[in-house]
A and B are shown apart, each in its own frame.
Chain A
Amino acid sequence: MPEDPPRPRLDRKALATALNAVETMGDAPLSEARAAIIDDAWAHPRGRAIGVTGPPGVGKSTLCGRLVQRWRSQGLTVAVLCVDPSSRRGGALLGDRLRMRLDGSDPDVFVRSMAARGRLGGLAPRAFEAVTVMRAAADVVLVETVGVGQSEVEVADLVEVTAVVIQPGSGDALQFLKAGLMEVFDRLVVNKSDLGALASNAARELRAALRLQGRREVPVHLVSAEDGAGIDVLADALADGTPDPGRRGDALRRLMVDRFRAWHGERIVVALGGYAALVEALAGAPDRDTMTPGAAWEALESRLRG
């Protein structure tokens, strides 16, 4: 029996070039050349994207570093997008790369840090495009957001599965639950299990709260990014599964309409029947799950002409 061909390694050069092009786009809508890069990547998804979010200081970066190590030990190639806040004056200190405590010389790990550049929502302006090209390059794409508050949950639109990380004893978890925002999260992670009873109590309270909301299927993980406890189970659960075209399509449609609206103005969107109607129209297209960003853009523009 012939052996499987060796898995191609990460094409670092191509990924670096594509990401540099993506980052240099500024706020303009897609130019044709750049749309081509992204459309091509969009058409060839390879990996599953995983979002990690949670309040500042909860240990997201250290946790992400542990997840990467686990996936690498399984031979998976990994691309990581780290989003850090920008200062109000525009500069940024991108420190997640260091906080992940990775070795830094593994050719099959690729970490790109992006500044939020004043944008709310926990992501960088070109995060969607960056995740798209990363997804075409690596087996697993990990997206670490800016430490978010309760209203900043956009990452869930970009990825197949989202984990929210919570600090034991902080009260954050219950706030998230009360605000009804837990719906966008697939897994809850209580970090710092090395704290002992404080952490296990937090996990128990979360499970109870989820039951009350009728969401008992949401798993709660108790882990320690510091000593590595519980990481393997979490990493395997997150990486288990294939790219989800339906969910990816939903995100694409919403995002393209957002950009379209921002560019042409709310007036035009209203004239065409409103935001919801446009999303609906894209969802009704025959190629709804294979539609590229370029094609979605054209479909919207053709409505304007028609």
Chain B
Amino acid sequence: MSTPTRRDEPWVMRTYSGHSSAAASNALYRENLARGQTGLSIAFDLPTQTGYDADHPLALGEVGKVGVPISHVDDMERLFDGIPLERMNTSMTINATAPWLLALYIAVAERRGIPRAQLAGTTQNDLVKEFLSRGTYMLPPGPSLALQTDLIAFTTRELPSWNPINVSSYHLQEAGATPVLEVSFALANAFAVLDAVRARPDMDAATFSKVCGRISFFVNAGIRFVEEMVKLRVMGRLWDETLATRYGITDPKARRFRYGVQVNSLGLTEQQPENNVYRIALEMLGVVLSKGARARAVQLPAWNEALGLPRPWDQQWSLRLQQIMAYETDLLEYGDLFDGSVEIARLEAKLTDEVQAELAWIAARGGVAEAVLSGALKERLVAANAERLRRIERGEQVVVGANRWTESARSPLLGDDGGIMQVDASAEAAQVDALRAFRAGRDSMRVSEALERLSEAAHGAAGFTLMEASIAAAHAGVTTGEWGEVMRRTFGEWRAPTGVTAGGVAGGASAGLEAARLRVAEIARDLGRPLKLLVGKPGLDGHSNGAEQIAVRAMELGMEVVYQGIRLTPIQIAAAAEEEGVHAIGLSILSGSHLALVPEVLAELARREVAVKVFVGGIIPEADREPLLRMGVARVFTPSDFDLTRNLVALAEAVLA
């Protein structure tokens, strides 16, 4: 060919990353940008996400684990050292504390003399899905949604290139949602956001149209990539149609369905982890193949996520896949490949009907906020995930290497270090020391004045004022924990419905359930009463899907289950075990903080002389299994132990032993 082919611009390429400290994460970001990444996606640690300082008791073991700790404006400055904010597109996975982290980001820009209007990026700022599945909420639903709306109004006025919210269906799929549930829950959520924004007294039609144009979505894409592509085409069409008909948006650009994606991690396996590379590539097809429904930004997980934290090289490998897809293949040279396909049109029509029915179901429950409050949505998710797990256990859903073709040589990729990143164990202590030094060096008069103004702004509930007060507080040296404390004091705290109910269990029995029930009943006879099990999550990790499934299955097997939920201190867990007279405790930990948290729980149980067997499940690297058992843990379960029934029978046998 003589004339060069016109190619579409590729999507923004990011990697969700951050760990240990602002300095370590800054080095990683610069490295990733040098390797061809075109945007940043910041992972914050759990204390930062939930508004606690690194030296708070709940932060123990969590500092720098699943992301970077940002305690104050100097941390934020260091995180972006040498990175030009005015030219960067920065996505922050931040929700309950989104106003605060955005305030810190703006404060750093202002220190550098960059106008607010030049900042481009995204705050996730979607609280509904935090209540449903991700668990890093801080305040009750009412004030949470008010803060969410305030931020949207603020950036629309002050940061016109900012996406103030990433309505997230991603976490719903990670929690086991089917495509129908994912699309309908996310759309219902987005419409509720628009309703809340439109109801503000300061909102006129022109500004509202701008808000619509800045709403973006954060979706998931699983291995069934044809279905996933159809899902995104349907989502885009429904979004466009509803904005036109229900909200009267006339500008087609403001109605465009804009989304970023992180492809599915739920289906990645611990067994034969090298296969995950293929899975990630296929999952990506669902969000790039169809030009009409192509992602604006793509993040890919690393092949070894089910084993532990990925290393920089693992993330580079995923980035290379994006680059090959965008620059080596001919994908970006064509129009939409699927417009006019009869089969795709049929699938779209079917999904559209199912989504409409689901939207009606949510509306009948008083809308998305009511359905979250009552636990109705959560129950649907827990039931959907229970059904997914049953299908895998029964072998109806094939997972190569997990329930079919499980024979394998040991993967040479695992190397001597287990093939994962070893987090620097001294990072937490270093962050705590640095934080205390920072506090000591502040102008304390200025800090208390800033906190006073912040508190007044929070009580006044005027969002513009709260954001400005937060930016002033950031400049004054207020910390993340102090900001969170003002919000908690003003608005109260909250525990979301768990969705763990007897009614949430749907579908038929899984393989071997009857035999397991009989064995559990025999053990109950020997114990003199039914086996009583406490299930809970210590630390700040809010990913409760696994714990919920364990609780539901244990109940099905005839155990009496006290489900204690998330964000528990060792004292709360030990006290509950003592009060409830349980035979066993199941701790679920996915954040990598197990070596810090488990000994604390065991020590607290010993102090109270509570004799109970402790079981640990989660993302536990193989190298940590022995140390946990030596501490006194009865058994360790990892993602490769996917048969919940078998795990629970093993637990019951261990209680009797």
B-contacting residues of A (Cβ < 8 Å)?
12-13, 16, 19-20, 23-26, 85-87, 89-95, 97-98, 101, 103-105, 107, 110-113, 115, 117
Contacts and interface: CB of A to CB of B under 8 A. Distances in A.
Sort A-B residue pairs by CB-CB distance and give the 8 closest, nearest first: A91-B555, A104-B572, A24-B528, A90-B558, A20-B581, A92-B560, A91-B558, A105-B571
Nearest to A90: B558
Given A23-B529, A93-B555, A115-B560, A85 B579 contact: no
A103 B580 CA distance: 15
B530 interface: yes
Nearest to B561: A93
Contacts of A23: 529, 581
Contacts of A112: 579-581
B551 interface: yes
A87 B555 contact: yes
A77 to B, nearest CB: 13
B579 A94 contact: no
B414 interface: no
B554 interface: yes
A25 B530 CA distance: 11
Nearest to A22: B581
Interface residues of B, number: 38
B277 interface: no
Contact of B565 (A86, A87, A98): A98
18 contacts: A12-B578, A12-B608, A16-B579, A23-B529, A85-B502, A87-B502, A89-B556, A93-B501, A94-B561, A94-B563, A95-B500, A95-B563, A103-B572, A105-B571, A107-B575, A110-B579, A115-B530, A117-B530
A95 B535 CA distance: 11
B517 interface: yes
Contacts of A12: 578-579, 608
A24 to B, nearest CB: 4
Contacts of A90: 517, 521, 530, 558
Contacts of B502: 85, 87, 92-93
Contacts of B501: 93, 95
Interface in B547-566: 551-552, 554-565
A113 B528 contact: no
Contacts of A110: 579
Contacts of B559: 91
Contacts of A104: 564, 568, 571-572, 575-576
A12 B609 CA distance: 11
Contacts of B609: 13
A173 B527 CA distance: 42
Contacts of B527: 24
Interface string B495-507: 1001011100000
Contacts of A16: 578-579, 581, 610
B571 A113 contact: no
A63 to B, nearest CB: 16
Contacts of A113: 562, 580
Contact of B563 (A26, A93, A107): A93
Interface in B266-295: none
A89 B558 contact: yes
Given A26-B528, A92-B530, A105-B571, 16 more contacts: A12-B578, A12-B608, A89-B517, A90-B558, A91-B530, A91-B555, A93-B500, A94-B561, A95-B563, A97-B580, A103-B572, A104-B568, A104-B575, A111-B580, A112-B579, A112-B581
B529 to A, nearest CB: 5
Nearest to A110: B579
Nearest to B140: A226
A13 B575 CA distance: 11
B431 interface: no
A170 to B, nearest CB: 15
A25 B560 CA distance: 16
A91 B562 CA distance: 11
Nearest to A88: B502
Contact of A94 (B558, B560, B569, B578): B560
Contacts of A85: 502
A115 B447 CA distance: 51
A146 to B, nearest CB: 12
B449 to A, nearest CB: 31
Given A16-B581, A94-B560, A105 B575 contact: yes
A97 B576 contact: yes
Contact of B554 (A26, A86, A91): A91
A95 B568 contact: no
A105 B579 contact: no
Residue among B555, B569, B610 with the highest chain A CB neighbour number at 10 A: B555
Contact of A101 (B495, B562, B581, B608): B495
